[in-house]
């Protein structure tokens, strides 16, 4: 399956070696190019799954074990014929025919496999890359070859799926993705290696306004609401935490209660944002929690229009959150 030139790029893989997942760079304009392939952008949680002869292990993109959240996926990976690998993919849950980060929330924060199964939330793993196989480092091998190896080495039936792609016609695929309500597309240079950083060899363009924001505070609840009124969120611009606005919708009663309790342990006296925030009843917290927020657009003064809370992102360090 590998050419002689590709074989020359192979290196020995050190079992247990951590690999920082390759990340895509956001861009505004979709494009078409015969040297690129285009994958659906899934609205889930990025994971690496590794195995070295024993039981598979699952890691979040910031190197936290997440096996307990997705035990049926661990079981499915353990049943595969190959027993030494490191694969890259996305765990998702569905609302209808669309992947939904909000639907996945009940799985992300569980403490045990038993609790995960008891949620009743069905999860799936879409595999799209393979940095290592059988003790061999594949990161210098072209992406298209790595994807062929993923497709050939695993048996795909729920909850495991191969993340397919289209060639060349990125603009057409992007229009179809937006019409179907997908989050967007990821464009990947077909001959790219696997880089352990954010790279312009992978690019992402979104159909909807959605990204991570840092929680820097919250307001008091009003009327019959409990917990808190709205989250005060921002993003990093160099060393500065810029204020992006307040988020008052997207919460159920349990989220209001649980998130308020979590923020209680992070309260501080000083505002963490680099500008004055004139919200009444504001309470400040250390900027450690990261939330996924949907919104319609940015206003001229750099604030979010119609923002809606989707869930917390424990897999994203706060200092990595920037305006996309």
Domains and CATH numbers, the chain: 4-24+41-165 (3.30.470.30), 209-320 (2.40.50.140)
Contacts 24+ apart (CB under 8 A), 197-201: 197/20, 197/22, 197/23, 198/22, 198/23, 198/24, 198/25, 199/22, 199/23, 199/24, 199/25, 200/25, 201/22
Q: How many other C-beta atoms can be found within 10 angstroms of the C-beta atom of residue 188?
A: 24
Tell me the C-alpha to C-alpha distance, in Å, between residue 78 and each of 61, 142, 154, 155: 21, 27, 11, 11
- In this prediction, residue 5 carries a pLDDT of 82
Q: How many other C-beta atoms can be found within 10 angstroms of the C-beta atom of residue 201?
A: 19
Read off the pTM. Answer: 0.81
Q: CB of 231 within 8 A of CB of 272?
A: no
Q: Which two tokens stand for residue 39?
A: 């994958």
CA dihedral 305, 266, 220, 253 (to 10 degrees): 80
Q: CB of 52 within 8 A of CB of 15?
A: yes
Q: Among all residues, which ones are annotated catalytic?
A: 41
**pLDDT average per 10 residues of sequence, the chain (324 residues):** 80 85 92 96 95 94 95 96 95 92 91 95 98 94 96 96 95 91 93 96 89 97 93 97 96 94 96 93 97 90 93 93 92
- In this prediction, residue 277 carries a pLDDT of 94
Contacts of 244 (CB under 8 A, 6+ apart): 213, 233, 234, 235, 302, 303, 304, 323
- In this prediction, residue 250 carries a pLDDT of 94
Cα gap 323→166, rounded to integer Å: 28
DSSP 20: P
- In this prediction, residue 2 carries a pLDDT of 80
Beta bridge partners of residue 87, listed in sequence order: 49
What residue has token string 């005060």? 232
Q: Where are the beta strands (DSSP E) in 158-281?
A: 160-162, 166-168, 184-189, 198-206, 209-219, 231-237, 240-247, 267-268
Which residue blocks in the chain are alpha helix, DSSP H? Answer: 4-7, 71-78, 101-108, 113-118, 143-153, 170-179, 253-264
Q: How many helices (H) and strands (E) does the chain have?
A: 7, 23
- In this prediction, residue 249 carries a pLDDT of 94
Cα gap 216→266, rounded to integer Å: 10
Q: CB of 226 within 8 A of CB of 257?
A: yes
- In this prediction, residue 187 carries a pLDDT of 98
Please count the CA atoms within 13 angstroms of the CA of 120 that sit on its side-chain side.
0
Q: How many other C-beta atoms can be found within 10 angstroms of the C-beta atom of residue 309?
A: 23
């Amino acid at each position: 399956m590998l050419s002689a030139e590709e074989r020359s790029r192979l290196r020995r893989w050190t079992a247990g070696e951590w690999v920082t997942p390759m990340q895509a760079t956001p861009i505004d304009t979709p494009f078409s190019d015969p040297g690129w392939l285009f994958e659906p952008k899934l609205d889930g949680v990025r994971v690496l799954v590794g195995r070295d002869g024993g039981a598979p292990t699952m890691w979040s993109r910031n190197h936290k074990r997440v096996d307990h959240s997705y035990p049926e996926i661990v079981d499915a990976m353990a049943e595969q014929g190959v027993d030494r690998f490191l694969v890259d993919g996305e765990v998702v849950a569905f609302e209808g025919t669309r992947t939904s980060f909000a639907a996945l929330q009940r799985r992300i924060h569980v403490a045990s496999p038993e609790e995960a199964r008891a949620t009743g939330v069905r999860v799936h793993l879409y595999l799209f890359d393979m940095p290592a196989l059988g003790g061999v480092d594949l990161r210098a091998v072209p992406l298209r070859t790595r994807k062929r190896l993923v497709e050939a080495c695993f048996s795909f039936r729920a909850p495991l799926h191969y993340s397919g792609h289209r060639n060349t016609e990125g603009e057409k695929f992007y229009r179809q993705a937006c019409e179907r309500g997908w989050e967007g597309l990821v464009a990947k240079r077909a001959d790219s290696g696997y880089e352990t950083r954010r790279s312009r060899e992978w690019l992402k363009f979104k159909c909807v306004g959605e990204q991570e924001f840092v929680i820097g505070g919250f307001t008091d609840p009003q009327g019959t609401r409990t917990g808190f009124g709205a989250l005060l969120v921002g993003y990093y611009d160099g060393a500065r935490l810029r204020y992006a606005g307040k988020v008052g919708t997207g919460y159920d009663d349990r989220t209001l209660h649980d998130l308020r309790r979590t923020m209680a342990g992070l309260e501080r006296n000083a505002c963490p944002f680099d500008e004055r925030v004139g919200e009444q009843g504001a309470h400040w917290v250390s900027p450690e929690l990261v939330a996924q927020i949907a919104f319609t657009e940015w206003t001229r003064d750099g604030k979010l229009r119609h923002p809606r809370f989707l869930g917390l992102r424990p897999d994203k360090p706060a200092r990595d959150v920037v305006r996309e």
